[in-house]
Amino acid sequence: MDIKRLSLLHRLTRILDRNQFGTVDYELAKFFLENYRSIGAMNIYEIAEQNFVSRASIRRFACHIGYENFAEMKQHFQDFDEGAEVYRAFHGAADFRTELYRALSLMMKELNVRMNSSEVSWLVKEIEQVEEVAFIASSHIAGILQTFQQELVIFGKRVTLLSNKEDICASLDYFGPETMVIVFSISGLLAETLAPLIDRFTGKKILFTLKRAPTFNRGFGKIYHLRSQENTEVPDVLYYSYAVHYVLDVILSEFLKLKAERNDFDDL
């Protein structure tokens, strides 16, 4: 699967968030989001007519958000599975709050074991020793990582966040052995898709994921599996938000403890 599909929604919503009301890009982004599930059945003529723009404008829009042409962008609308049924089955349950509490309790109990003090301490010491940390994640998780990025910067650690292929490619000439690369790929799809690029980073590489794949063992120096193979009770969707928040919070807590032990706060 192409990484562009992983960030299509993010790119469209980002255009809306800029609030450039009335521009062609704004109106097209709004149209694609409002008709997301039916774009695959529409042709460029229909879209141009409904939005009162030229076909050339639609082609330029597709190129602007990273596609070769409209046909490629349309293919991603057709193939991308948003997992709507998964969300509906879990979040739409009549006893949602009860089930959420139960699933979160199970997940946090296991994460507390997997992210034990020695594991977190080792990771934080590795982060503290390198010049810079580069996080690679899908646009969904990148939103969570942005807050963590700012928190680490406040306490003296330079952090870069990469959430699209273009930025990752550009960073290859910049990052050297002193940059630690930490990848959050809950389903494993992002790590598999970007494997050829991630392999080119020369610094330490760490992966957080649910998936177990032999290829990951060759590409990463350390892998944190966020759940056991036997755990089938916690929906994957919860790991994209709650688990990521938990992992980042315990890392930040340990990072601050380390700085306090070394009296590094005097330098801030």
- In this prediction, residue 267 carries a pLDDT of 57
**Mean pLDDT to the nearest integer, 142-146:** 89
- In this prediction, residue 84 carries a pLDDT of 66
Checking if the pLDDT of 136 tops 90, the result is: yes
Q: What angle do CA 12, 16, 19 make, to 5 degrees?
A: 155
Do 124 and 237 touch, CB atoms closer than 8 A? no
pLDDT tens-digit map of 173-231: 899 999 999 999 999 989 998 999 999 999 999 999 999 999 999 999 999 999 998 88
Domains of the chain: 3-79 (1.10.10.10), 103-267 (3.40.50.10490)
pLDDT tens-digit map of 2-54: 455 556 877 888 888 887 888 999 999 999 988 888 888 899 999 999 999 99
- In this prediction, residue 1 carries a pLDDT of 43
For 35, 98, 267, the CA distances from 91, given in Å and listed in that order, are 22, 11, 46
Checking if the pLDDT of 264 tops 80, the result is: no
Dihedral pair phi/psi, residue 66, rounded to 5°: 105, 10
Distance of alpha carbon 249 from alpha carbon 31, whole angstroms = 37
Distance of alpha carbon 22 from alpha carbon 20, whole angstroms = 6
- In this prediction, residue 266 carries a pLDDT of 59
Strands 179-184 and 158-162: unpaired
Lowest mean pLDDT among 203-207, 220-224, 239-243, 261-265: 261-265
In the sheet with 222-225, reading across from the earlier edge strand, the strands are 158-162, 132-137, 179-184, 205-209, 222-225
**Mean pLDDT to the nearest integer, 56-70:** 90
